[in-house]
Amino acid sequence: MRRLFLYLIMTPQTDITTFDDIKLLVDTFYSKVQKDEFIGPIFNEKIGNRWPEHLEKMYRFWQTILLEVHSYSGSPFPPHKQLPVAKEHFDRWMEIFTQTTDSLFAGPLADEAKYRAKNMAEMFNYKIDYFRNLEKNQTNNS
């Protein structure tokens, strides 16, 4: 009986279905990011005291992607273009995102969130590398 109880309280029971679920995911995730020794300083320096604004934007972003409520518009990459990050930073970001999602939710939309986050991390990493190499080549050819 004790094992069943632990299973029930430790296993996510629901999928991401509401805006409140999005807020829980985003708030929990970025709370961990802010405290993370590896990627936290990068986020905290870039965002500074604008965390509430950033979180609101992330709610709208994930609501648009997962719940198909079109509340986000814009291009998510440009603010990340000049960040001092490499693949290992994206790997850590993804690790925290996956752990957070898995600890809170289970189902097709939770899986979709992890899939989309993975694709976004890979694309951002690729594009940041591309622009760095482009700038390096332009500097070397000048």
* Known binding positions for heme: 80
- Residues 39 and 58: their CA atoms lie apart, in Å, by 17
Question: 51-67 and 19-35 are packed helices; what angle lies between their axes, rounded to 10 degrees?
Answer: 130
- The annotation places the binding site at 80
Determine how many CB atoms are found less than 10 A away from the CB of residue 29: 23
Residue by residue, DSSP assigns 45-56 as HHHTT-HHHHHH
Neighbours of 80 (CB within 10 A): 14
DSSP annotation of 38 reads T
Could you identify the residue written with the tokens 């709208």?
60
